[in-house]
Structure 1
Amino acid sequence: MAFMTRRYKRTMIYTDARFAGVPILGNLPQVPLTHSWLKFKQWADQYGPLYSLSLAGNRHVVVSTEKIANDLLRGRGNIYSSRPHLPMSCELLSHNLRPVLLPYNDLWRKGRKLMHSLASESAAPAYEPVQMRESFRLLKDLLADPNNYETWFERFSAGLVLQLAYGKTVETGDEPIVRDILEVVHTLERVISPGAYLVDTFPILMWLPKWLAPFKREADGLHQRELSLFRKNIDDVRAEIANGDQTPSFCRSWLEKEHSFGLNTDEAAYAIGTMFEAGAGTTAAALMSFMLSMVHHPEWQRRLQQELDAVVGNSRLPDFDDMPRLPTVRAIVKETLRWRPVTAGGVPHQLIKDDVYEGVFLPAGTSIHANQWAIHRDAALYPDAENFRPERWLEPCWPTYREPLTQFPNLQNFSAFGFGRRICPGQAIAERSLNIAAARVGWGCTVSKLKGVEVPLYDYTTGLNVQPNKFRFNLEARGTHVLKVLGDKAKDSGGSNGA
């Protein structure tokens, strides 16, 4: 392991020979296969917020504070916005079509232009009616069957993004298209996970013929499955338009202005499919962590409910017009993402040109890891970082406080969504989804620990994006008024629309 000094030369200066690693593999044996961000945070505590690793000859730099991440990935985004090439996920699985994995090139810029036009802050309010409807269904089903909360959160996020991306309505969450596309999402998360495939560490294995490389045969099948699905979704929308259907969607918007974006069908299919990937699993995971936080912190659940009672009352559901007067809702959502980030290890950037930062030389080709777990625990910015403290966003004595509280806290450019030119393009939509879901669940439900049942603070799945493993809790309607409002709303909307 290389620990950087304030001086630099054309090569790194190593200051701790004990962590030089082993021949060929370097520091690779020291990096855990799962939840590596926890170990990276330990090393940051010991050696400082900027240090380097040699992983099988490849240089990796781990960034552990928001200031350094912003200085490099945002302030110098013209040279820090590429991606490391991971043969299994980039080339074999995605055939260099998936925008989140593309280098900083023209194809990435074209895909980004499409995604920005569909999901920007100015476009996001148009999708609020869909979010209102899906959050109504979420609350109704959560109250009816709380034990299946994972299903309801996944249906909320998947149903929402399927409606936005392709104009497809999800009723049960068990439809083939939902199962198929969630399988694509989970496959990507598995394939891209650090250490999942040896070829990502030793790219020379790409020279193996297919009959000697089972990972190539596996990737062929996975690629054909996801490409066929993405193509079919676009073909379905084309057919619906030809039949006079007027349902708006991301896909329809692209088809209507196809030539202005400069993307062929497969490139656009992956760009739109990626927006589903980015929104479906991450939103559901964040809401599961929200439930975990409410189980462990009933005092904040009470504050949330008190605010909702004062602003909304008990005769209607919260809506987007209430959000400026619900700073506690927004603070709890933001603190959940800080306390339990979904992409805890971040997605690495790649430096494309030699650079020097505060006396540290960083060579071109270095992979830069903004370790969100450590960044969200920077004591200077987040005092008492290990604990769930939404007041850090609400009270002037905390470094993260901003006003007016009708606007702040919000999730715009929050580090949980990445940094610089690679920041999540759908963050404005995600913010609205999380806020309305948290507000409605808080308005309608009380969650609590089951007597005699321990709920771990950190028992999370493995992979690039993580969520709490299923835990048990008690959930009840806050009163008969909740069931009455839900029943009346269902009647008014024909049984499903809660907008």
Structure 2
Amino acid sequence: MNSLHSALPLIPLQLPDLPIYEHAQLFIGTAACLAAAGVFARAYLVKSESNLPLPPSPPNWTFQGHTLPPRRPFLTMAEWIDEYGPVITTRSRFTKVVIVGSYKAAVEIMENQGKSVADRPRSISAGELFSGGMSLTFAPVGERFRRMRKALHSHLQPKAAETYQPLQSSHAKNVVLNILDDPHNFRNHVLSYAATTVMKVAYGKSTPTSATHPEVIELHRNMEVFAKLLRPGAFLVDSIPWLKYLPWYGRELKRGYETYKRIHTGQLNRVGEQIKSNEDTGPSLARFILENREHGLGETESAFLVGSMFSAGSDTTGSAICTVLMAAARFPEEQAKVQAELDAVVGRHQAPTFADQKSLPRMQAFIYEALRWRPLATNGVPHRTNEDVIWAIHQENYRIPAGTTVYGNHWSITRDPDAYPEPDAFKPERWIDDHGNLKENINLFFIYGFGRRVCPGQHLAQRSVFISTLLVIWAFRLTLDPTKPVDDMEFIIGEKADSPCVIEFEARVPDAELRHIMEEYCPDS
């Protein structure tokens, strides 16, 4: 004891006089300090055998790690990226998270090395509790992922998606007619269009699906939970896995899984009954999967695969359409340029169709710019490196170790001034070349994701957003209510506006003429 006192003369140790519980407290406190030190060392000091460091990190020495505000966390991430570089390392409790925040870095890491970042991190909250291991979105790379992906691609490749254009046109005209009748509920009209279209593609349902249908409402609520799951560190169970065994933990997530299972299984079973009774409902993803069992998907896998297309597809498509319409009202000068192009190519007395798409580069550029200006999934979906990824900047090499969670932050990428000069300005012309044509080889990963994890329904979604926004902007002049505040981040997935966006619609031809044109609209005839 004397030697110990001489070694640490400033710390008077009197362990024999401490009660038992104080010994325990001392032990626990020491263990906690050592554990925290280990976390910090692992998070910030790990280097490879070649001694390459992780990308730079904002300073943080708390046990919790880099905490994000509950509202609009992407703005905090953007501040870190502006200060510490286009690729940064953060920590969420025990987990290192790398955030990619520039266009060039996204191409170099997420696209060019896409094979190395194609995996998903294990997510107990999203992948297990919320989706029962059945979600394609959160599925790790493996046999199940490949089977599910192959089945979707077989049905949603560009040529297959093109066959749904007449369907999309016939339902898009209803958006115009519904706005004529009830302009204040434009959101519901858009969501009903998105739900109706996706229900037909997924399940062959030909009757309209209302945004107020109970199942649509339930799935929309589940998508709000899904948005929370995309936030790094949102659920403690992803850092402390044994929490999932507690019956009271994660009730919201478990209810979400039961809702998905009940609705998706019921919808798939209805298609199965239609097949048995030889009812002709036309092609659908559900029918395709049930009649082509060589994909090797079980009943629950099939139900979740088709159901994910409906739940995610209808919600994101509706949000994208609303974003474009809000941008039209928010930037009237740019809206007027699109309408001038429409007047020159189509005129005001007949409605445009998919056949006019190549002649309307400004319309397409407007859509791209709206979805860049307010990307739908600002944080992106987490990836996982399955091998070391090396990234270089300013003659400095960094290493992202195998097993690291990586986010492509859509908000920061779309605000990269090197890729998008004046990124906060709304400039559709950035997508048009010197000859007035739409630029070629446009990379839309800020809308549909990266590399091998790109959204399989992108070709269908692109067409739905195009034809619906095309008809609305052709039919109406959109303006904002000057007496109401505007929150132009309202339609970002997972965000809630302080006050809903109010858009006013003024028909560009007399109401009676517009109604007649749309009622007779049949572009596939």
- When normalised by structure 1's length, the TM-score is 0.88
Q: CA RMSD in A?
A: 2.8
1:240: which partner in 2? 274
> Structure 1: how far apart are the matches of 2:422 and 2:442?
21
Within the candidate set 470, 478, 498, 1:447 is matched to: 478
Tell me, what secondary structure is at the counterpart of 1:245? coil
Once residues 342 and 162 of structure 1 are traced to their aligned partners in structure 2, the CA distance between those partners, rounded to angstroms, is 21
Alignment of 1:169-318 (within 5 A): 169-206=207-244, 208-210=245-247, 213-215=248-250, 217-247=251-281, 248-258=283-293, 260-318=294-352
The residue number in structure 1 matching 2:74 is 37
Q: Structure 1's 385 and 43: CA in aligned 2 closer, same or farther, altered over 3 A?
A: same
> What CA distance in whole angstroms lies between the structure 1 residues aligned with 2:47 and 2:484?
50
Matching of residue 25 in structure 1 with residue 59 in structure 2:
no
Q: Deviations over 1:320-343 (max 9, x none)?
A: 000000101100000011100000
Shift of 1:97: 0.6
CA deviations 1:68-114 (Å, max 9, x no partner) are: 22222222222211112221221112111100001111111111111
Percent identity between matched residues is: 29
Aligned to 1:130: 167
Picking from 496, 501, 504, the partner of 1:474 is 504
Shift of residue 130 of structure 1?
A: 1.2
Offset of residue 172 of structure 1: 3.8
Q: Report the residue type matching 1:440 in the other structure.
A: L
Q: What is the Cα deviation at residue 15 of structure 1?
A: 6.4
Structure 1 residue 3, shift from structure 2 partner: 8.7
Change (3 A) 1:10 1:48: same
Conserved 8 A contact 1:161-1:279: yes
Q: 2:487 aligns with which of 456, 460, 471?
A: 456
Classify the secondary structure of the residue corresponding to 1:476: strand
Deviation at 1:224, TM superposition (A): 2.1
Query: For the Cα contact (< 8 Å) 1:316–1:485, is it kept in 2?
Result: no
1:422 to 433, 453, 456: 453
| Residue aligned with 1:54, SS | strand
Aligned to 2:135: 98
Task: Note the alpha carbon deviations across 1:367-408, whole angstroms, 9 max, x for none.
Answer: 111011111111111000011100101243xxxxxx782x64
Q: Which residue of the partner structure matches residue 53 of structure 2?
A: 12
Contact 1:413–1:423 (8 Å) recurs in 2: no
**Partners of 1:285 and 1:466 within 8 A in 2:** no
Cα deviation for residue 188 of structure 1 reads 2.7
Aligned to 1:390: 428
On the 8 A contact 1:136/1:498 being kept in 2, the answer is no
- Residue 422 (structure 1) shift: 0.3
Higher CA-based Rg: 2
Partner of 1:377: 415
- Partner deviation per Cα, 1:345-374 (whole Å, 9 max, x = no partner): 111101112232221111111111101111
Matching residue of 2:516? 487
Q: Are the aligned partners of 1:25 and 1:56 in contact in 2 as well (CA < 8 Å)?
A: yes
SS at match of 1:430: helix
Contact kept, 8 Å, 1:93 with 1:222, in 2: the verdict is yes
Secondary structure at the residue paired with 1:34?
Answer: coil
Letter in 2 for 1:372: H
- Paired letter, 2:319: A
Segments of structure 2 that go 5 or more residues without pairing to the other structure are 1-39
Task: Note closer, same or farther for the CA distance 1:84–1:284 as it changes in structure 2 (3 Å cut).
Answer: same
Paired residue total: 478
TM value normalised by structure 2? 0.84
Distance 2:367 2:252 in 1: 39
1:50 correspondence with 2:106: no
**Partner Cα distance (1:421, 1:466) in 2:** 31
Query: In structure 2, what is the Cα distance between the partners aligned to 1:173 and 1:498?
Result: 26
SS of equivalent to 1:305: helix
1:435-472 residue CA offsets vs partner (Å, 9 max, x unmatched): 11111011101111323333234456662x78896212
Which consecutive aligned stretches of 4+ in structure 1 deviate over 6 angstroms post-superposition?
1-8, 409-412, 465-468
Match in the other structure for 1:158: 195
SS in 2 for 1:286: helix
In structure 2, the CA distance between the partners of 1:229 and 1:13, relative to structure 1 (3 Å rule), is closer
Contact 1:5/1:360 (<8 A) preserved: no
8 Å Cα contact 1:9-1:361 kept in structure 2: no
Shift of 1:145: 1.3
- Paired residue secondary structure (1:46): helix
> Per-residue displacement from partner, 1:209-240 (whole Å, max 9, x unpaired)?
32xx332x444333222112111111111111
Q: Is the Cα contact below 8 Å between 1:159 and 1:170 reproduced in 2?
A: yes
CA contact 1:8–1:360 (8 Å) conserved in 2: no
Distance (Å, rounded) in 2 between the aligned partners of 1:156 and 1:269: 23
Q: Which amino acid aligns with 1:484?
A: E
Q: In the alignment, residue 160 of structure 2 is paired with which amino acid?
A: A
Asked if structure 2 preserves the Cα contact closer than 8 Å seen for 1:289 and 1:467, the reply is no
Task: Tell me the amino acid that sits aligned with residue 123 of structure 1.
Answer: A
Q: Which amino acid aligns with 1:59?
A: K
1:400 maps to none
Aligned-residue offset at 1:54: 1.5
The 3 A distance-change label for structure 1 pair 45 and 489 is closer
Corresponding position: 1:81 with 2:118: yes
Structure 2 counterpart SS, 1:452: coil
Contact 2:387 2:402 in 1 (8 A): yes
In structure 2, C-alpha distance between the alignment counterparts of 1:132 and 1:189, rounded to whole Å: 29
**For each residue in 1:275-319, what CA deviation from the matched residue of structure 2 results, as whole angstroms up to 9, or x when unmatched?**
123311111111221122112211111111111111111232111
Deviation at 1:485, TM superposition (A): 4.3
Residue equivalent to 1:109: 146
State the distance in 2 between where 1:88 and 1:243 align: 40
